[in-house]
Amino acid sequence: MLLKKQINREKLPCHIAIIMDGNGRWAKKRGKIRKIGHKNGTASVKIVVKAAAEMGVKFLTLYTFSTENWSRPKAEVDALMSLLASSINSEIVVLKKNNIRLMTIGNTSSLPLSVQKILNDAINVTSNNTGLTLILALSYSGKQDITKATQLICNDIEKGKLSISDITEEIFCKYLSTANIPNPELLIRTSGEYRISNFLLWEIAYTELYFTETLWPDFDKDEFYKAVIDYQKRKKRYGRTSEQTTKI
Report, as residue numbers or ranges, the catalytic residues. Answer: 21, 69
Parallel, antiparallel or unpaired: strands 133-140 and 15-19: unpaired
Q: Whose CA is closest to 38, among 62, 16, 21, 19? A: 21
Distance CA 178, CA 3 (A): 31
The sign one gets for the Cα dihedral 13, 92, 26, 222 is: positive
Q: What is the DSSP string of 101-124?
A: EEEEES-GGGS-HHHHHHHHHHHH
Q: How many CA atoms lie within 13 A of 242 on its CB side?
A: 2
